[in-house]
């Protein structure tokens, strides 16, 4: 009996000093605020510097649009929660070949866990409602093959599978309660929602009051889009009042989900933001408007409250984007959504601080080294105590 007690205590002490392992619960979003780290640029900070910047800003939730290994390595040991992206260009292959899906997950997700906290895979981006109809048909197969690979590797309790949708999947969103999925989207959307309901994934929405206002500036009050004081809108069907457009866009998604039979599915905003510069026909893309939108959005998310239609579902949002991206095609606004400029300084002040070359390097070294130093100190203090306890029991 004494030998058994000693053995049990030895096992306990051994387990106590094992390095921490990954959580067994999916934590795809911590808190309410996240950011999209796009890299379509040739002049933005290195991944290591980006980690420093995000840690200093206390932004824990990060989405990228691929699975670039230099980024995954830089995020190792930082505690940042990362959602990686499977690009649209790989969807057809992943849908047609389960083995390729398994290889992709092994090489780009499993190989970096648990040191890099990869908590999600976004399979494609804004596929349904887009112009490539072949991708519409490939999306569900790719989602299932990626999920099955994750499950076979016993990572399904750690890594959440999602895909993000634009407003183009909806036929109407005003007032919010009238929103439904477009007729040509429904046949693809419903089986996708059915699968996500089975595996517990949310509906991911890219919601841009900026784009909605730009499409109809004569009939939309810009204050309503910017979270400023306004009379807002009234939805007669639900008897609800909206004082900002983002809440209305989110509730429109909830209405479409309910109409499709998925009332309990959560909506997560995977992109939202406001451009700070634009072309001549993009007059709303100004530094002042971008600052106002993102400052007020940050305040709104900090309240940790829901929407008028779903008051118990706390709104969570990833801001678009971390940086201005100089190589993005299209209108000037597309290259100017960043909270930070290419050199790491702030694009405008909403309470964050930009990179400083000297302090950034020292902070990065501290963050990378802190985990190992803490573990060494912890072990040095408690290991002798535990050994002494064992010796006393063995006497």
What tens digit of pLDDT does each residue of 337-369 get? 999 998 999 999 999 988 874 444 444 444 444
Residue at 376 is within a domain = yes
If asked whether residues 369 and 258 sit together in one domain, one would say: no
If asked whether residues 343 and 394 sit together in one domain, one would say: no
Task: Find where tokens 């309470």 sit.
Answer: 351
pLDDT digits (tens, 9 = 90+) for 39-78: 999 999 999 999 999 999 999 999 999 999 999 999 999 9
Mean pLDDT of 15-41: 69
How far apart are the C-alpha atoms of 161 and 150, rounded to whole Å? 9
If asked whether residues 345 and 369 sit together in one domain, one would say: no
Known active-site residue 271: yes
DSSP 54-112: HHHTT--EEE-SS--HHHHHHTTTS--EEEEEE-GGGHHHHHH-HHHHHHHHHHHTGGG
User: Which burial class, exposed, middle or buried, applies to 174 when counting CB atoms under 10 A from its CB (0-12, 13-18, 19+)?
Assistant: middle
If asked whether residues 176 and 118 sit together in one domain, one would say: yes
- Residue numbers of the domain that contains 374: 356-395
Other beta carbons within 10 Å of 182: 15
Residue 14 pLDDT > 80: no
Residue 96 pLDDT > 90: yes
Given the residues 81, 103, 107, 126, the one annotated as active site: 126
Angle between helices 2-16 and 357-394 (to 10 degrees): 180
pLDDT band at 29 (very low <50, low <70, confident <90, very high): confident
Given the residues 49, 81, 271, 325, the one annotated as active site: 271
Residue at 276 is within a domain = yes
Other beta carbons within 10 Å of 62: 24
Number of domains in the chain: 2
In the chain, % of residues over pLDDT 70 = 83
386 in helix, strand or coil?
Answer: helix
pLDDT band at 90 (very low <50, low <70, confident <90, very high): very high
Give every CB contact of residue 351 below 8 A, 6+ residues apart in sequence.
295, 298
If asked whether residues 289 and 391 sit together in one domain, one would say: no
If asked whether residues 383 and 337 sit together in one domain, one would say: no
* 293 neighbors 209 (Cβ within 8 angstroms): yes
If asked whether residues 349 and 362 sit together in one domain, one would say: no
Residue at 375 is within a domain = yes
Residue at 15 is within a domain = no
pLDDT band at 310 (very low <50, low <70, confident <90, very high): very high
Q: What is the pLDDT of residue 30?
A: 84
pLDDT digits (tens, 9 = 90+) for 261-306: 999 999 999 999 999 999 999 999 999 999 999 999 999 999 999 9
If asked whether residues 295 and 260 sit together in one domain, one would say: yes
At residue 82's C-alpha, the angle toward residues 331 and 206, to 5°, is 40
Give the chain's mean pLDDT: 88
Mean pLDDT of 104-115: 98
Mean pLDDT of 72-92: 98
Residue 6 pLDDT > 80: no
């Amino acid at each position: 009996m004494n030998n058994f007690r000693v053995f049990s205590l030895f096992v306990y002490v051994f387990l106590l000093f094992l390095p921490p392992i990954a959580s067994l619960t999916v934590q795809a979003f911590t808190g309410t605020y996240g950011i999209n780290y796009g890299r379509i640029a040739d002049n933005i900070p290195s991944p290591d510097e980006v980690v420093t910047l995000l840690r200093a800003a206390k932004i824990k939730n990060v989405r990228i649009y691929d699975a670039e290994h230099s980024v995954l390595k830089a995020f190792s040991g930082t505690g940042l929660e990362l959602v990686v992206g499977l690009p649209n260009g790989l969807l057809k292959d992943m849908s047609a070949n389960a083995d390729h899906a398994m290889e992709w997950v092994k090489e780009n997700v499993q190989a970096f866990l648990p040191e890099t906290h990869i908590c999600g895979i976004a399979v494609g981006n804004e596929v349904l409602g887009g112009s490539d109809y072949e991708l519409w048909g490939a999306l569900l197969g790719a989602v299932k093959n990626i999920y099955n690979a994750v499950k076979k590797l016993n990572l399904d309790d750690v890594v959440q599978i999602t895909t993000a949708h634009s407003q183009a999947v909806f036929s109407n969103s005003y007032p919010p309660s009238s929103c439904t999925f477009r007729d040509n989207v429904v046949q693809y959307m419903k089986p996708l929602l059915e699968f996500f309901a089975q595996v517990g994934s949310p509906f991911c929405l890219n919601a841009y009051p900026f784009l909605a206002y730009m499409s109809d500036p004569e009939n939309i009050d810009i204050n309503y889009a910017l979270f400023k004081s306004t009379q807002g809108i009234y939805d007669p069907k639900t008897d609800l009042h909206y004082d900002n457009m983002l809440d209305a866009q989110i509730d429109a998604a909830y209405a479409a989900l309910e109409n499709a039979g998925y009332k309990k599915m959560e909506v997560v905003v995977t992109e939202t933001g406001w451009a700070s510069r634009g072309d001549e026909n993009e007059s709303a893309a100004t530094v002042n408007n971008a600052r106002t939108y993102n400052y007020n959005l940050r305040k709104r998310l900090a309240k940790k409250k829901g929407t008028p239609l779903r008051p118990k579902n706390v709104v969570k949002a990833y801001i678009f984007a971390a940086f201005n991206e100089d190589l993005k095609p299209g209108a000037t606004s597309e290259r100017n959504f960043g909270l930070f400029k290419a050199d790491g300084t702030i694009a405008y002040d909403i309470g964050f601080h930009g990179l400083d070359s000297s302090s950034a390097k020292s902070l990065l070294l501290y963050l990378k080294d802190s985990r190992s130093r803490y573990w060494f100190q912890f072990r040095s203090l408690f290991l002798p105590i535990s050994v002494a306890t064992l010796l006393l029991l063995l006497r």
